[in-house]
A and B are shown apart, each in its own frame.
Chain A
């Protein structure tokens, strides 16, 4: 079934740890996105990708990095987690067309202690 998967759904981790948030999609989409959302606030685009080997930074500056080695997979990495990284991270994907709808994953809620 076509879907977008994010793992883990919840993560509590100590300061300084390296973490990778996984995002995979079986939608057959070329474009993928990462959004960050603090409680009660807007979603902000932090990374996006047009396709394999294409990654760009979004509007909100983020210390995270992303890679796109496979079309289906768009992981987000934090080399050294800090409490300021505590947030919800949402992955999305869309087709190539300019008017394509974005489909969202279930999100990962990250808490850095």
Chain B
């Protein structure tokens, strides 16, 4: 079965601390993984996708097929990073996204 698991509901860190939001997936084929972010009072938006292998707002994520993980990392958290983060998997032929339950990141001053 296709599934995305984000084990942490809430991750609370201080400004300047490293951040790692965990995401594990199960998928029988070759997956495409994404991180979406929702800032307070804003809509859900794409943060990054694994095929781009890019850094957005200082965040990176590496697809680890052996561990079936796609953890989101940032070396130094900023207060403006506080938001809800969703990991998503694209599987199937019609651009279907399967989302995790999300992790709320709270960055304190």
Contact = CB atoms under 8 A, between A and B. Distances in A.
B43 A107 contact: yes
Contacts of B40: none
Given A40-B9, A42-B101, A102 B95 contact: yes
Interface of B is mostly: loop
Count class of interface residues, chain B: 20 to 34
B57 interface: no
Interface of A is mostly: loop
B43 A105 contact: yes
Contact of A99 (B9, B51, B99): B51
Given A40-B9, A105-B43, A31 B99 contact: no
Interface residues of A, number: 25
Given A99-B51, A105-B43, A106-B43, A43 B94 contact: no
B96 A90 contact: no
Contact of A31 (B43, B95, B100): B95
B45 A48 contact: no
A40 B95 contact: no
A99 B32 contact: yes
A41 interface: yes
Contacts of B49: 101
A56 interface: yes
Interface of B: 4, 9, 32, 43-46, 49, 51, 86, 93-102
